[in-house]
Chain A
Amino acid sequence: MGVLVDTLKADIRIEEGLKACINCGSCVATCPAAEFYSYSPKNIVNLVSSWDEDTIKELLCSETIWYCGECMSCMTRCPRGNAPGMVIMALRSLSIKEGYFLKSERGRQQLRLQRALCGNILNYGYCVYPRTYHYEEHPESGSIGKWVNENADEVFGRVGANLDGSGTGVLRKISDKALAELKSIFDATGATEQMERVEQLCRENGIE
Protein backbone atom coordinates (compact mmCIF):
# COMPACT_ATOMS: atom_id res chain seq x y z
CA MET A 1 0.00 0.00 0.00
CA GLY A 2 0.98 3.63 -0.33
CA VAL A 3 -0.19 7.09 0.62
CA LEU A 4 -2.62 7.43 -2.26
CA VAL A 5 -4.17 4.02 -1.72
CA ASP A 6 -4.47 4.58 2.00
CA THR A 7 -6.05 8.01 1.58
CA LEU A 8 -8.47 6.70 -1.02
CA LYS A 9 -9.48 3.77 1.16
CA ALA A 10 -10.19 6.14 4.02
CA ASP A 11 -12.74 8.07 1.92
CA ILE A 12 -16.24 7.03 2.97
CA ARG A 13 -17.37 7.26 -0.66
CA ILE A 14 -15.02 4.42 -1.57
CA GLU A 15 -16.42 2.28 1.22
CA GLU A 16 -19.96 3.08 0.08
CA GLY A 17 -19.30 2.98 -3.65
CA LEU A 18 -16.82 0.18 -4.26
CA LYS A 19 -17.72 -3.33 -3.22
CA ALA A 20 -17.17 -6.22 -5.63
CA CYS A 21 -17.41 -5.34 -9.31
CA ILE A 22 -18.37 -8.29 -11.52
CA ASN A 23 -17.47 -6.44 -14.73
CA CYS A 24 -20.97 -6.78 -16.19
CA GLY A 25 -20.79 -3.33 -17.79
CA SER A 26 -24.25 -2.20 -16.62
CA CYS A 27 -22.71 1.09 -15.49
CA VAL A 28 -21.20 1.69 -18.94
CA ALA A 29 -24.51 0.94 -20.64
CA THR A 30 -26.39 3.52 -18.61
CA CYS A 31 -23.66 6.17 -18.32
CA PRO A 32 -24.27 9.49 -20.16
CA ALA A 33 -20.54 10.23 -20.13
CA ALA A 34 -19.64 6.86 -21.65
CA GLU A 35 -21.95 7.64 -24.55
CA PHE A 36 -20.26 10.86 -25.57
CA TYR A 37 -16.71 10.66 -24.18
CA SER A 38 -14.04 8.01 -24.36
CA TYR A 39 -14.94 7.00 -20.83
CA SER A 40 -15.80 3.80 -19.00
CA PRO A 41 -16.87 3.74 -15.35
CA LYS A 42 -16.15 0.00 -15.36
CA ASN A 43 -12.52 0.62 -16.30
CA ILE A 44 -12.21 3.22 -13.55
CA VAL A 45 -13.50 0.71 -11.01
CA ASN A 46 -11.13 -1.96 -12.33
CA LEU A 47 -8.14 0.35 -12.11
CA VAL A 48 -8.99 1.49 -8.59
CA SER A 49 -9.63 -2.10 -7.52
CA SER A 50 -6.02 -2.94 -8.39
CA TRP A 51 -5.03 -0.82 -5.35
CA ASP A 52 -1.76 -0.15 -7.12
CA GLU A 53 -0.14 3.15 -6.14
CA ASP A 54 1.25 3.94 -9.60
CA THR A 55 -1.98 3.04 -11.37
CA ILE A 56 -3.96 5.30 -9.05
CA LYS A 57 -1.49 8.12 -9.47
CA GLU A 58 -1.88 7.81 -13.23
CA LEU A 59 -5.67 8.04 -12.84
CA LEU A 60 -5.41 11.11 -10.65
CA CYS A 61 -3.34 12.83 -13.37
CA SER A 62 -5.68 11.78 -16.18
CA GLU A 63 -8.41 13.58 -18.12
CA THR A 64 -10.64 10.53 -17.64
CA ILE A 65 -11.72 11.15 -14.08
CA TRP A 66 -13.18 14.54 -15.01
CA TYR A 67 -15.62 13.20 -17.64
CA CYS A 68 -18.28 11.84 -15.24
CA GLY A 69 -21.39 14.01 -14.81
CA GLU A 70 -22.18 12.61 -11.33
CA CYS A 71 -25.76 11.78 -12.33
CA MET A 72 -25.37 8.50 -10.38
CA SER A 73 -27.28 6.44 -12.95
CA CYS A 74 -24.55 3.82 -12.41
CA MET A 75 -25.51 3.53 -8.75
CA THR A 76 -29.07 2.56 -9.63
CA ARG A 77 -28.19 -0.08 -12.16
CA CYS A 78 -25.19 -1.82 -10.60
CA PRO A 79 -26.34 -5.32 -9.57
CA ARG A 80 -23.69 -5.40 -6.86
CA GLY A 81 -24.45 -2.08 -5.21
CA ASN A 82 -21.36 -0.27 -6.48
CA ALA A 83 -21.41 3.42 -7.28
CA PRO A 84 -18.66 4.29 -9.77
CA GLY A 85 -19.83 7.91 -9.59
CA MET A 86 -18.91 8.01 -5.91
CA VAL A 87 -15.55 6.44 -6.68
CA ILE A 88 -15.00 9.25 -9.17
CA MET A 89 -15.86 11.84 -6.50
CA ALA A 90 -13.26 10.34 -4.17
CA LEU A 91 -10.65 10.27 -6.96
CA ARG A 92 -11.30 13.90 -7.85
CA SER A 93 -11.00 15.01 -4.23
CA LEU A 94 -7.68 13.20 -3.93
CA SER A 95 -6.44 14.61 -7.25
CA ILE A 96 -7.15 18.13 -5.97
CA LYS A 97 -5.63 17.42 -2.55
CA GLU A 98 -2.40 16.08 -4.03
CA GLY A 99 -2.18 18.68 -6.81
CA TYR A 100 -2.45 16.12 -9.62
CA PHE A 101 -5.42 18.01 -11.09
CA LEU A 102 -2.84 20.32 -12.66
CA LYS A 103 -1.73 17.52 -14.99
CA SER A 104 -4.93 17.49 -17.04
CA GLU A 105 -6.77 20.14 -19.03
CA ARG A 106 -10.08 19.17 -17.42
CA GLY A 107 -8.52 19.16 -13.99
CA ARG A 108 -7.15 22.67 -14.43
CA GLN A 109 -10.72 23.90 -14.88
CA GLN A 110 -10.99 23.55 -11.11
CA LEU A 111 -9.74 27.08 -10.51
CA ARG A 112 -12.51 28.65 -12.60
CA LEU A 113 -15.17 26.48 -10.99
CA GLN A 114 -13.96 27.25 -7.50
CA ARG A 115 -13.80 30.98 -8.06
CA ALA A 116 -17.30 31.07 -9.55
CA LEU A 117 -19.18 28.71 -7.24
CA CYS A 118 -17.42 29.34 -3.92
CA GLY A 119 -17.43 33.04 -4.74
CA ASN A 120 -21.21 32.92 -5.09
CA ILE A 121 -21.64 30.98 -1.86
CA LEU A 122 -19.39 33.19 0.25
CA ASN A 123 -20.51 36.51 -1.24
CA TYR A 124 -24.21 35.87 -1.79
CA GLY A 125 -25.19 32.60 -0.06
CA TYR A 126 -26.22 30.91 -3.32
CA CYS A 127 -24.33 28.52 -5.60
CA VAL A 128 -25.79 30.33 -8.61
CA TYR A 129 -26.76 33.99 -8.49
CA PRO A 130 -28.37 36.08 -11.26
CA ARG A 131 -25.97 39.00 -11.12
CA THR A 132 -22.96 36.73 -11.73
CA TYR A 133 -24.69 34.55 -14.35
CA HIS A 134 -23.85 36.47 -17.51
CA TYR A 135 -25.39 35.89 -20.92
CA GLU A 136 -21.97 36.17 -22.59
CA GLU A 137 -20.87 33.04 -20.72
CA HIS A 138 -24.24 31.39 -21.32
CA PRO A 139 -25.36 32.02 -24.90
CA GLU A 140 -27.36 28.78 -24.70
CA SER A 141 -29.74 30.65 -22.39
CA GLY A 142 -31.09 32.09 -25.62
CA SER A 143 -32.77 35.36 -26.42
CA ILE A 144 -34.91 35.01 -23.29
CA GLY A 145 -31.82 34.46 -21.15
CA LYS A 146 -30.34 37.63 -22.61
CA TRP A 147 -33.57 39.52 -21.92
CA VAL A 148 -33.68 38.28 -18.33
CA ASN A 149 -30.02 39.18 -17.86
CA GLU A 150 -30.46 42.71 -19.19
CA ASN A 151 -33.70 43.38 -17.30
CA ALA A 152 -33.10 41.32 -14.17
CA ASP A 153 -34.74 43.61 -11.60
CA GLU A 154 -37.88 44.08 -13.68
CA VAL A 155 -38.26 40.45 -14.76
CA PHE A 156 -37.58 38.96 -11.34
CA GLY A 157 -39.80 41.60 -9.76
CA ARG A 158 -42.65 40.83 -12.17
CA VAL A 159 -42.78 37.16 -11.16
CA GLY A 160 -42.77 37.86 -7.44
CA ALA A 161 -39.10 37.35 -6.59
CA ASN A 162 -37.42 39.39 -3.85
CA LEU A 163 -34.06 39.88 -5.59
CA ASP A 164 -31.60 41.31 -3.03
CA GLY A 165 -34.50 42.31 -0.77
CA SER A 166 -34.80 41.81 2.97
CA GLY A 167 -36.72 39.06 4.77
CA THR A 168 -37.83 35.85 3.09
CA GLY A 169 -38.55 35.12 -0.55
CA VAL A 170 -36.94 34.20 -3.83
CA LEU A 171 -33.33 35.39 -4.17
CA ARG A 172 -33.58 37.53 -1.02
CA LYS A 173 -30.35 39.06 0.25
CA ILE A 174 -28.69 36.53 2.53
CA SER A 175 -27.85 38.24 5.81
CA ASP A 176 -24.30 39.10 6.83
CA LYS A 177 -24.72 36.79 9.82
CA ALA A 178 -25.62 33.83 7.59
CA LEU A 179 -22.71 34.61 5.23
CA ALA A 180 -20.35 34.79 8.20
CA GLU A 181 -21.57 31.37 9.34
CA LEU A 182 -20.95 29.91 5.90
CA LYS A 183 -17.43 31.33 5.97
CA SER A 184 -16.84 29.85 9.44
CA ILE A 185 -18.03 26.46 8.18
CA PHE A 186 -15.64 26.75 5.22
CA ASP A 187 -12.80 27.55 7.64
CA ALA A 188 -13.61 24.76 10.08
CA THR A 189 -14.19 21.97 7.58
CA GLY A 190 -11.37 22.30 5.09
CA ALA A 191 -13.04 24.22 2.24
CA THR A 192 -11.00 27.39 2.79
CA GLU A 193 -7.80 25.36 2.99
CA GLN A 194 -8.67 23.54 -0.25
CA MET A 195 -9.49 26.80 -2.02
CA GLU A 196 -6.23 28.41 -0.93
CA ARG A 197 -4.24 25.36 -2.02
CA VAL A 198 -5.85 25.31 -5.47
CA GLU A 199 -5.19 29.05 -5.84
CA GLN A 200 -1.58 28.64 -4.75
CA LEU A 201 -0.83 25.65 -7.00
CA CYS A 202 -2.43 27.34 -9.98
CA ARG A 203 -0.52 30.56 -9.33
CA GLU A 204 2.76 28.66 -9.08
CA ASN A 205 2.02 26.93 -12.37
CA GLY A 206 0.95 30.05 -14.24
CA ILE A 207 -2.74 29.13 -14.42
CA GLU A 208 -5.20 32.01 -14.17
Chain B
Amino acid sequence: MKFSGIQKIWSEWEKEIPDDHWFYVRSCIRQNFFPASERRYLDIVRGNLGRDIFEHPEHTTCGGIAYHNECIPQLTQMTIVGRQFSIMTESGYSNYVCSCVTSFGLYCEALNTWKEHPEIEAMVREKLWESCHREFEIPKSLVHASDLIYHLRHEIGAKAVHKLTNANTGEPLRVVDHVGCHYAKMFPTKGVGGAEYPHVLSGMVEAWGGESIDYPERRHCCGYGFRQYHIKENRGYCVSNTHKKLESMEPYHPDFIITNCPGCAYFLDRWQYVIAHQTRHTYGGPGQGIPVLTFEEAAGLVLGYDPWDLGLQMHQVAVEPLLDKMGVPYDPAKKYLGTNGKAIPRPELPSIIRCC
Protein backbone atom coordinates (compact mmCIF):
# COMPACT_ATOMS: atom_id res chain seq x y z
CA MET B 1 0.00 0.00 0.00
CA LYS B 2 1.25 3.49 -0.87
CA PHE B 3 0.97 6.21 1.76
CA SER B 4 1.53 9.96 1.58
CA GLY B 5 2.00 12.80 4.07
CA ILE B 6 1.33 11.97 7.72
CA GLN B 7 0.15 8.47 6.77
CA LYS B 8 3.51 7.80 5.13
CA ILE B 9 5.44 8.99 8.18
CA TRP B 10 3.21 6.94 10.46
CA SER B 11 3.52 3.81 8.30
CA GLU B 12 7.27 3.86 8.87
CA TRP B 13 6.68 3.42 12.60
CA GLU B 14 4.19 0.58 12.35
CA LYS B 15 5.39 -2.82 13.43
CA GLU B 16 4.71 -6.18 11.85
CA ILE B 17 2.86 -8.29 14.41
CA PRO B 18 1.95 -11.86 13.44
CA ASP B 19 -1.67 -12.73 14.01
CA ASP B 20 -1.42 -16.08 15.78
CA HIS B 21 0.71 -18.84 17.35
CA TRP B 22 2.68 -17.29 20.15
CA PHE B 23 5.18 -18.48 22.73
CA TYR B 24 4.60 -16.52 25.93
CA VAL B 25 7.03 -15.66 28.74
CA ARG B 26 5.93 -14.03 31.96
CA SER B 27 7.19 -10.99 33.85
CA CYS B 28 8.63 -11.27 37.37
CA ILE B 29 7.30 -7.87 38.41
CA ARG B 30 3.86 -8.31 36.84
CA GLN B 31 3.38 -11.71 38.45
CA ASN B 32 4.13 -10.17 41.85
CA PHE B 33 2.21 -6.90 41.59
CA PHE B 34 -0.47 -7.62 38.98
CA PRO B 35 -0.92 -11.40 39.03
CA ALA B 36 -4.44 -11.13 37.63
CA SER B 37 -3.17 -9.22 34.59
CA GLU B 38 -0.78 -12.08 33.90
CA ARG B 39 -3.61 -14.59 34.26
CA ARG B 40 -6.25 -12.67 32.30
CA TYR B 41 -3.88 -11.83 29.45
CA LEU B 42 -3.90 -15.47 28.38
CA ASP B 43 -7.65 -15.75 29.08
CA ILE B 44 -8.29 -12.79 26.76
CA VAL B 45 -5.95 -13.85 23.96
CA ARG B 46 -7.11 -17.48 24.08
CA GLY B 47 -10.67 -17.32 25.35
CA ASN B 48 -11.97 -14.05 23.96
CA LEU B 49 -9.90 -13.79 20.80
CA GLY B 50 -9.35 -17.46 19.97
CA ARG B 51 -5.60 -17.28 19.40
CA ASP B 52 -2.97 -19.92 20.15
CA ILE B 53 -0.60 -18.65 22.84
CA PHE B 54 1.57 -21.21 24.62
CA GLU B 55 3.23 -21.09 28.03
CA HIS B 56 5.92 -23.60 28.99
CA PRO B 57 6.42 -24.34 32.72
CA GLU B 58 10.21 -24.45 32.38
CA HIS B 59 10.67 -20.80 31.42
CA THR B 60 12.06 -18.55 34.14
CA THR B 61 13.05 -14.98 34.81
CA CYS B 62 15.15 -13.40 32.04
CA GLY B 63 17.42 -12.06 34.79
CA GLY B 64 16.86 -8.51 33.56
CA ILE B 65 16.34 -6.84 36.93
CA ALA B 66 19.50 -8.44 38.31
CA TYR B 67 21.38 -7.35 35.19
CA HIS B 68 20.19 -3.74 35.48
CA ASN B 69 21.26 -3.83 39.14
CA GLU B 70 24.71 -4.97 37.99
CA CYS B 71 24.32 -8.25 39.89
CA ILE B 72 24.99 -10.48 36.87
CA PRO B 73 27.26 -9.97 33.84
CA GLN B 74 25.84 -9.29 30.40
CA LEU B 75 26.96 -12.72 29.21
CA THR B 76 24.91 -14.37 31.96
CA GLN B 77 21.81 -12.38 31.07
CA MET B 78 22.18 -13.14 27.37
CA THR B 79 22.66 -16.85 28.07
CA ILE B 80 19.44 -16.89 30.09
CA VAL B 81 17.81 -15.26 27.04
CA GLY B 82 19.26 -18.07 24.94
CA ARG B 83 17.72 -20.62 27.31
CA GLN B 84 14.29 -18.99 26.97
CA PHE B 85 14.65 -19.12 23.16
CA SER B 86 15.67 -22.76 23.46
CA ILE B 87 12.41 -23.59 25.25
CA MET B 88 10.51 -21.72 22.53
CA THR B 89 12.34 -23.72 19.87
CA GLU B 90 11.70 -27.09 21.50
CA SER B 91 8.03 -26.14 21.86
CA GLY B 92 7.75 -25.61 18.10
CA TYR B 93 7.07 -21.87 18.15
CA SER B 94 8.86 -18.96 16.49
CA ASN B 95 6.76 -15.94 17.52
CA TYR B 96 7.95 -14.76 20.93
CA VAL B 97 5.87 -12.51 23.20
CA CYS B 98 7.07 -11.29 26.59
CA SER B 99 5.01 -9.49 29.19
CA CYS B 100 7.85 -7.49 30.79
CA VAL B 101 9.08 -4.22 29.29
CA THR B 102 12.54 -4.63 30.85
CA SER B 103 12.74 -8.08 29.28
CA PHE B 104 11.53 -6.75 25.95
CA GLY B 105 14.34 -4.18 25.90
CA LEU B 106 16.87 -6.87 26.75
CA TYR B 107 15.60 -9.29 24.11
CA CYS B 108 15.86 -6.47 21.56
CA GLU B 109 19.35 -5.65 22.82
CA ALA B 110 20.47 -9.28 22.61
CA LEU B 111 19.15 -9.75 19.07
CA ASN B 112 20.65 -6.45 17.94
CA THR B 113 24.02 -7.22 19.53
CA TRP B 114 24.14 -10.72 18.09
CA LYS B 115 23.37 -9.35 14.62
CA GLU B 116 26.17 -6.81 14.81
CA HIS B 117 28.58 -9.10 16.66
CA PRO B 118 28.08 -12.73 15.61
CA GLU B 119 31.02 -13.69 17.83
CA ILE B 120 28.93 -12.76 20.89
CA GLU B 121 26.03 -14.91 19.71
CA ALA B 122 28.52 -17.74 19.17
CA MET B 123 29.82 -17.27 22.72
CA VAL B 124 26.27 -17.36 24.14
CA ARG B 125 25.51 -20.55 22.19
CA GLU B 126 28.73 -22.11 23.50
CA LYS B 127 27.96 -21.17 27.11
CA LEU B 128 24.37 -22.40 26.83
CA TRP B 129 25.53 -25.74 25.48
CA GLU B 130 28.25 -26.00 28.13
CA SER B 131 25.84 -25.23 30.96
CA CYS B 132 22.53 -26.74 29.83
CA HIS B 133 23.14 -28.77 26.65
CA ARG B 134 20.63 -26.56 24.91
CA GLU B 135 20.45 -25.00 21.45
CA PHE B 136 18.08 -22.37 20.12
CA GLU B 137 16.71 -20.66 17.06
CA ILE B 138 16.26 -16.91 16.83
CA PRO B 139 12.56 -15.95 17.01
CA LYS B 140 11.03 -14.88 13.71
CA SER B 141 9.04 -12.28 15.60
CA LEU B 142 9.63 -10.60 18.95
CA VAL B 143 6.91 -8.43 20.48
CA HIS B 144 5.83 -7.10 23.83
CA ALA B 145 2.52 -8.33 25.24
CA SER B 146 1.00 -4.89 24.67
CA ASP B 147 1.91 -5.08 20.96
CA LEU B 148 -0.29 -8.13 20.61
CA ILE B 149 -3.26 -6.46 22.32
CA TYR B 150 -2.66 -3.38 20.14
CA HIS B 151 -2.77 -5.66 17.10
CA LEU B 152 -6.03 -7.19 18.31
CA ARG B 153 -7.54 -3.95 19.67
CA HIS B 154 -10.30 -3.65 17.11
CA GLU B 155 -11.43 -7.24 17.75
CA ILE B 156 -11.60 -6.40 21.44
CA GLY B 157 -13.48 -3.20 20.59
CA ALA B 158 -15.97 -5.18 18.52
CA LYS B 159 -16.68 -7.45 21.51
CA ALA B 160 -16.86 -4.57 24.00
CA VAL B 161 -19.35 -4.91 26.84
CA HIS B 162 -18.26 -1.56 28.25
CA LYS B 163 -16.62 1.23 26.26
CA LEU B 164 -14.10 3.66 27.69
CA THR B 165 -16.88 6.23 27.88
CA ASN B 166 -18.95 7.87 30.58
CA ALA B 167 -22.00 5.63 30.81
CA ASN B 168 -24.23 8.57 31.74
CA THR B 169 -23.14 11.17 29.20
CA GLY B 170 -21.62 9.03 26.45
CA GLU B 171 -18.54 11.25 26.51
CA PRO B 172 -15.18 9.50 25.98
CA LEU B 173 -13.10 9.00 29.11
CA ARG B 174 -9.95 11.09 29.28
CA VAL B 175 -6.98 8.74 29.40
CA VAL B 176 -3.29 9.52 29.86
CA ASP B 177 -0.76 6.87 28.96
CA HIS B 178 2.65 5.94 30.30
CA VAL B 179 4.77 3.70 28.11
CA GLY B 180 7.61 1.88 29.88
CA CYS B 181 11.04 3.32 29.02
CA HIS B 182 12.58 0.11 27.72
CA TYR B 183 9.68 -0.51 25.34
CA ALA B 184 11.13 1.80 22.69
CA LYS B 185 13.68 4.25 24.12
CA MET B 186 16.58 1.94 23.33
CA PHE B 187 15.31 0.56 20.02
CA PRO B 188 12.66 2.97 18.70
CA THR B 189 11.91 0.93 15.59
CA LYS B 190 10.88 -2.02 17.75
CA GLY B 191 7.94 -0.19 19.34
CA VAL B 192 4.63 0.75 17.74
CA GLY B 193 5.02 4.45 16.99
CA GLY B 194 8.66 4.62 18.09
CA ALA B 195 9.98 6.30 21.23
CA GLU B 196 8.70 9.85 20.74
CA TYR B 197 5.13 9.10 19.58
CA PRO B 198 4.36 5.61 20.84
CA HIS B 199 0.88 4.59 19.76
CA VAL B 200 0.72 1.22 21.45
CA LEU B 201 -1.49 2.39 24.33
CA SER B 202 -3.22 5.38 22.78
CA GLY B 203 -4.25 3.09 19.92
CA MET B 204 -6.02 0.80 22.39
CA VAL B 205 -7.67 3.74 24.17
CA GLU B 206 -9.03 5.17 20.92
CA ALA B 207 -10.20 1.75 19.66
CA TRP B 208 -12.17 1.24 22.86
CA GLY B 209 -13.93 4.61 22.82
CA GLY B 210 -11.68 6.71 25.03
CA GLU B 211 -9.82 9.94 24.33
CA SER B 212 -6.05 9.86 24.56
CA ILE B 213 -4.82 12.98 26.36
CA ASP B 214 -1.33 14.36 25.82
CA TYR B 215 0.59 15.87 28.74
CA PRO B 216 4.03 17.48 28.99
CA GLU B 217 5.91 14.74 30.84
CA ARG B 218 4.36 11.88 28.93
CA ARG B 219 7.76 10.42 28.03
CA HIS B 220 9.37 10.93 31.44
CA CYS B 221 10.44 7.80 33.32
CA CYS B 222 8.16 6.60 36.16
CA GLY B 223 11.27 6.61 38.35
CA TYR B 224 11.79 2.90 38.96
CA GLY B 225 15.51 3.19 38.32
CA PHE B 226 16.32 -0.42 39.36
CA ARG B 227 18.83 0.10 42.22
CA GLN B 228 17.14 3.43 42.95
CA TYR B 229 14.11 1.38 44.04
CA HIS B 230 15.51 -1.90 45.32
CA ILE B 231 17.51 -0.09 48.00
CA LYS B 232 15.12 1.52 50.47
CA GLU B 233 17.19 4.63 51.13
CA ASN B 234 17.44 5.44 47.40
CA ARG B 235 13.69 5.65 46.82
CA GLY B 236 13.56 9.45 46.97
CA TYR B 237 14.61 9.26 43.32
CA CYS B 238 11.58 7.11 42.50
CA VAL B 239 8.91 9.15 44.22
CA SER B 240 10.41 12.41 42.88
CA ASN B 241 10.10 11.23 39.29
CA THR B 242 6.56 9.90 39.74
CA HIS B 243 5.67 13.19 41.44
CA LYS B 244 6.90 15.05 38.36
CA LYS B 245 4.68 12.96 36.11
CA LEU B 246 1.60 13.26 38.31
CA GLU B 247 2.01 17.05 38.58
CA SER B 248 2.25 17.18 34.80
CA MET B 249 -0.90 15.15 34.12
CA GLU B 250 -3.10 16.58 36.89
CA PRO B 251 -4.22 19.75 35.02
CA TYR B 252 -5.70 17.55 32.27
CA HIS B 253 -8.07 15.82 34.72
CA PRO B 254 -7.54 12.28 33.46
CA ASP B 255 -10.09 9.61 34.33
CA PHE B 256 -7.32 7.04 34.51
CA ILE B 257 -3.71 6.26 33.61
CA ILE B 258 -2.95 3.29 31.34
CA THR B 259 0.48 1.66 31.25
CA ASN B 260 2.19 -1.25 29.50
CA CYS B 261 5.01 -1.71 31.99
CA PRO B 262 4.54 -3.83 35.14
CA GLY B 263 6.69 -1.65 37.39
CA CYS B 264 5.36 1.66 36.09
CA ALA B 265 1.75 0.71 36.87
CA TYR B 266 2.72 -0.21 40.41
CA PHE B 267 4.79 2.89 41.08
CA LEU B 268 2.27 5.33 39.60
CA ASP B 269 -0.34 3.76 41.92
CA ARG B 270 1.68 3.39 45.11
CA TRP B 271 3.57 6.66 45.06
CA GLN B 272 0.20 8.49 44.97
CA TYR B 273 -0.40 6.94 48.41
CA VAL B 274 3.01 8.11 49.63
CA ILE B 275 2.65 11.61 48.17
CA ALA B 276 -0.81 11.93 49.78
CA HIS B 277 0.78 11.19 53.15
CA GLN B 278 3.74 13.49 52.47
CA THR B 279 1.84 16.49 51.17
CA ARG B 280 -1.87 15.78 51.75
CA HIS B 281 -2.32 16.31 48.02
CA THR B 282 -4.31 13.88 45.89
CA TYR B 283 -4.39 14.05 42.11
CA GLY B 284 -7.97 12.98 41.37
CA GLY B 285 -9.73 15.54 43.55
CA PRO B 286 -10.12 15.69 47.36
CA GLY B 287 -9.21 12.34 48.90
CA GLN B 288 -9.11 10.72 45.49
CA GLY B 289 -6.21 9.49 43.37
CA ILE B 290 -6.02 8.85 39.65
CA PRO B 291 -6.70 5.13 39.01
CA VAL B 292 -3.88 3.33 37.20
CA LEU B 293 -4.70 0.40 34.93
CA THR B 294 -2.51 -2.10 33.18
CA PHE B 295 -3.52 -2.56 29.55
CA GLU B 296 -4.86 -6.04 30.42
CA GLU B 297 -7.06 -4.56 33.12
CA ALA B 298 -8.40 -1.98 30.66
CA ALA B 299 -9.01 -4.68 28.05
CA GLY B 300 -10.64 -6.89 30.69
CA LEU B 301 -13.05 -4.17 31.79
CA VAL B 302 -13.96 -3.48 28.16
CA LEU B 303 -14.65 -7.19 27.63
CA GLY B 304 -16.86 -7.38 30.71
CA TYR B 305 -14.64 -9.20 33.21
CA ASP B 306 -15.49 -8.79 36.89
CA PRO B 307 -13.20 -6.10 38.38
CA TRP B 308 -12.14 -8.36 41.22
CA ASP B 309 -11.28 -11.18 38.78
CA LEU B 310 -9.02 -8.57 37.17
CA GLY B 311 -7.30 -7.98 40.50
CA LEU B 312 -8.32 -4.35 40.90
CA GLN B 313 -8.54 -4.96 44.66
CA MET B 314 -4.72 -5.09 44.64
CA HIS B 315 -4.52 -1.40 43.72
CA GLN B 316 -3.95 1.22 46.40
CA VAL B 317 -5.85 3.98 44.55
CA ALA B 318 -9.60 3.38 44.45
CA VAL B 319 -10.91 2.19 41.08
CA GLU B 320 -14.59 2.47 42.00
CA PRO B 321 -15.07 6.03 40.66
CA LEU B 322 -13.81 4.80 37.28
CA LEU B 323 -16.03 1.70 37.38
CA ASP B 324 -19.02 3.92 38.20
CA LYS B 325 -18.25 6.22 35.28
CA MET B 326 -17.99 3.30 32.88
CA GLY B 327 -21.10 1.64 34.28
CA VAL B 328 -19.17 -1.50 35.22
CA PRO B 329 -21.12 -3.51 37.84
CA TYR B 330 -19.26 -4.68 40.95
CA ASP B 331 -20.02 -5.98 44.40
CA PRO B 332 -18.17 -3.96 47.08
CA ALA B 333 -18.73 -6.75 49.61
CA LYS B 334 -16.66 -9.14 47.49
CA LYS B 335 -13.70 -6.84 46.94
CA TYR B 336 -11.39 -8.12 49.66
CA LEU B 337 -12.33 -11.79 49.78
CA GLY B 338 -9.86 -14.66 49.50
CA THR B 339 -9.90 -17.79 47.35
CA ASN B 340 -13.37 -19.22 46.65
CA GLY B 341 -15.07 -16.37 48.47
CA LYS B 342 -13.32 -17.05 51.79
CA ALA B 343 -13.52 -14.21 54.31
CA ILE B 344 -10.06 -12.94 55.19
CA PRO B 345 -8.92 -9.89 57.19
CA ARG B 346 -9.65 -6.66 55.34
CA PRO B 347 -6.89 -4.14 54.60
CA GLU B 348 -6.64 -0.88 56.49
CA LEU B 349 -8.44 1.82 54.53
CA PRO B 350 -6.50 5.10 54.63
CA SER B 351 -8.63 8.21 54.98
CA ILE B 352 -6.23 10.54 53.22
CA ILE B 353 -6.56 8.82 49.84
CA ARG B 354 -9.44 6.45 49.09
CA CYS B 355 -8.67 2.90 48.16
CA CYS B 356 -12.30 1.75 47.83
Interface residues of A (CB under 8 A from B): 12-13, 16, 32-33, 35-37, 66-73, 75-76, 83, 89, 92-93, 96, 106, 109-110, 112-114, 116-118, 120-121, 125-130, 133, 137-138, 140-148, 150-151, 153-161, 166-172, 174-175, 177-178, 181-182, 184-191, 194-195
Contact = CB atoms under 8 A, between A and B. Distances in A.
Given A66-B227, A154-B339, A189-B131, A129 B73 contact: no
Nearest to B244: A35
Contacts of A166: 57
A145 B57 CA distance: 27
B231 interface: yes
The 8 closest A-B pairs by CB, nearest first: A69-B225, A154-B338, A147-B347, A157-B339, A159-B36, A184-B131, A127-B65, A160-B39
B226 A70 contact: yes
B188 A76 contact: yes
Given A127-B64, A140-B235, A188-B131, A75 B186 contact: yes
Interface of B: 26, 28-29, 31-32, 35-36, 38-40, 55-61, 63-66, 68-76, 79-80, 83, 105, 113, 117, 120, 127-128, 130-132, 134, 181-182, 184-186, 188, 195-196, 219-221, 223-228, 230-232, 234-237, 239-241, 244, 270-271, 273-274, 308-311, 313-316, 336-339, 342, 344-350, 355
Contact of A194 (B72, B134, B221): B72
Given A72-B181, A157-B339, A159-B35, 7 more contacts: A33-B225, A75-B185, A113-B227, A146-B347, A154-B342, A158-B337, A189-B79
A62 B90 CA distance: 46
Given A71-B225, A89-B70, A161-B35, A185 B274 contact: no
Nearest to A141: B270
A7 B308 CA distance: 53
Q: Helix, strand, loop or mixed for chain A's interface? A: helix
Contacts of A147: 336, 345-348
